[in-house]
Structure 1
């Protein structure tokens, strides 16, 4: 339950308090200074009190920009007031404008990052002790001893209560923010579950039918090339299903099992072998000895190769040749996917629109990525290898 009476973080509430401090406390301090002048206070003391009071009111306005800086200004002003004698009191820390210090203290406890709330409490209590020590050192017997004790007790109580209420409001605000974040996370999980169901009902079903129809068509064909193409079509459908199931598990926030693993470097040979058709030639050249790669680097390498092949097939007129080259070095692996430009670009829009995700994936794996475009496209990436055990 929130303490609405003391919850001063609202803009309207805070502005009202700032306005009241200027309209009520400042005139009250001026009236007290007039009385002090009549009681014989020196002009220097009055000037110092006026400057310190002005600093306190400015500190309240400064909290809108920096609570810590405002607290530093207010603390300095209160320390100055502690050295100024006031007739009938121990010092000037009981001036009406001194209440501005409590407003600044509240704000720094509520807004400032840790450990500033605790520093503010220590500064406030230390300041009270210093002020009372100064007052006691110049006591001339006009004030009874119990009044000094009462004043110190009152100041400590007010400062501690202000700090405690501000800290309670801060904790309530942080709990409310945590509850809001938890509600947002639940909403995201619910939305992911909806997306998962939609993908499964629409896309997975359609791909399954496509694979089944391709397998059925193989039975009735008598041409070797047609049979080979249909087999590759069926295998591509199965691969898409495996990838879709892996994506659905990510959306559902459940760990993948052994049947739906992310693609690794061992999938590169099958990817190239199943990508070709009579009109689309894909070759793989691998130089050097394979080195261990991080899991995200393996995925990025395979996805880069897949995107380069898909990009060429989608945007170039057949026949098209794509060459994949993988060069293994002691400290890195370089992969290059280049096409021969085919018979020219198809009217399918500008090529390479799907490469943004590949670039981000390569960067996330600690690699570098480059695209060269002339009459053909060349995708190049490098990934660091892991140290051998």
Structure 2
């Protein structure tokens, strides 16, 4: 019994009923305008509605904004479980206009049919019941119950038609999937940027602070504090840029992403942390595309950060050159540094380096080479090479 009563108590049932009655109202207004209701039989009335309403609705469906208006109205009154199941985009193709025309015709036809059935049922029941307190008056609740359930079923049918005819087209679903993929890639990119930038800054800061605590030389301590301040400011700049991107406010001023021309700053920070750096980057200014220069900087940054983290105090050897249409980068460091601590398998940082290389059409190798740990990356200057 509760299953029979519960749908009748839902606000969605009466919102859908209103949506259906709007369709009947449209047909009624058109019928009043032409040819009128005086002296017309029911059969002729139905034929006239088909002959006049259907072409008129098809013409209305040609307007792209109609699909948007119908989608918004259907979301509000038909109350779908998922709003995205009913689209609110204007018609973008003739297929969309055709589906919109089918929806308008089905909506008016279903609403009109429900209205006619309800009017006929009420009229018949009123004639059959007789006096208010007669024995046949008990039929009134049953008729009302049946009409309410008819509205429930018609509303569910209307919702199903809306999902099928107003739902996103294949092109819209593909565009939505591409948008989701782009957002996911952007989030992954931002996560890599934060990991590379902030991870490097924290590594340098920890090493500098530890060295300053162990060495009592005031000059060294001042130099270490200066390096910590410089690294912290750079990390704050990177963090500010990431926050601007996350807020989706490109008009806001933010620091530019560093390129390979700023790699010397990385090497200076590593030297200040106590690790000798032998770097040779045979790359002329402006020789690399902007995106390649920025990604190469992050790759070198990850190589230096790994060397500082796993072999603090050990020498770091960086080589970079452009040859055969590609940028070759190599970061080499002993597998164990003066501070001890052998190097284990790559973590998120190396995974990010591989992802960067693959996205740029290149390749990445990382692993032991004799007594050294080597990170090699090759990035083509142009995709397809």
TM-score (norm 1): 0.43
Higher Cα Rg: structure 1 or 2?
1
TM-score with structure 2 setting the length: 0.44
Which structure has more relative contact order (CA 8 Å, sep 6+)? It is 2
